[in-house]
Amino acid sequence: MTWLTSLIGYAFERRTYPVADEEDTEKRTYRYSILEHLFGHPWARPFFAFAILEMLIWQSLALTGYDTTILIASGYALLFALFSILWVEGTLVYGAVAFSLLAAGAAMKQAEVQLADAAAVFGGIGFGLYLLGRVLQTLSSRIRALTVWLSPLTNCGILLTGAAVVIDMPFVFNHMTAAAASLAFAGALYVTIAYRGRYHQLGYLGMAFLELAWVLLLFINDVKQPQLYAIPAGLYFMGLAYLEWQRNKSRYSVSLEVLGLGVLLVTSLAQSLSAEDSRILFS
């Protein structure tokens, strides 16, 4: 019924009608284009109003059951996605993502997924939304309407991965796998955005998340070799030194390279010695 009501409203909205005078034109001019689409045409206005009311009512009633929540939320997500393409409106993409997340949340609740694990899954969804945006970016040269999806998908990806990290950090000792996954998704996303947009500070944050995820992974697998902890950090500092030298050839890059080599070599030397030799060397 909601789909039918919306499509009838869209059919009326696509029709042109004569403008009486300038005063009537000003009355139909809205600040946001989405409102112009919804309420700008007098015949389409009641259909879209009822469609919005139906969404609120039926989705609220559907929350009483997991299957109905998934079904109706998925249908509304597709409806928002369709109209975002028809109207070339990026605002509707947020609605499509919101209903999709509602359906995913209901599915995980039905499967009795714990909060920490669910947060990690949502972090993965956020990273997936960003990757979906990059796929649509390649297709947007042929389908212009897809260009409005790029910014909303990126914003939703950043929000979801950041929220997953915030939620999972209090459970880091009880749910290390979920926390490591959340950190990895957020770190990979932030590093990718930093590289594509040259946001250097965001790249530092992303690499910090990836380093923490690696450390948690080693803890989970009970790995005690210190060299495995030091190798990612050393390689990161050396890679950062190379990029900084290519950018402005500053002394800061030399310091980073020395730090990276020091982390790698000192750790390797300490691990190669026996416990007794290590105490003698560092005493």
In order along the chain (283 residues), what is the average pLDDT of each group of 10 residues?
Answer: 91 65 45 76 88 92 93 95 91 94 94 92 94 90 87 93 93 89 92 80 82 84 74 74 71 69 69 56 52
| Element (DSSP H or E) covering residue 23 | helix 22-27
Average pLDDT, the chain: 82
First-to-final CA distance of the chain: 79
Q: How far apart are CA 87 and CA 68, in angstroms?
A: 28
Tens digit of each residue's pLDDT (9 = 90 or more) over 129-145: 999 999 998 888 888 88
Q: How far apart are CA 103 and CA 149, in angstroms?
A: 20
Of the CA atoms within 13 Å of residue 104, those in its CB half-sphere come to 17
Per-domain residue ranges for the chain?
1-108, 113-223, 226-283
* pLDDT confidence of residue 250: 66
Nearest to 123 by CA among 171, 169, 176, 160: 160
Q: Which two tokens stand for residue 112?
A: 């009795």
DSSP string, 159-188: HHHHHHHHHHGGGTTT-HHHHHHHHHHHHH
Q: How far apart are CA 138 and CA 133, in angstroms?
A: 9
Say whether pTM exceeds 0.85: no
* Whole-Å CA distances, 279 to 23, 69, 224, 259, 275: 88, 62, 18, 23, 6
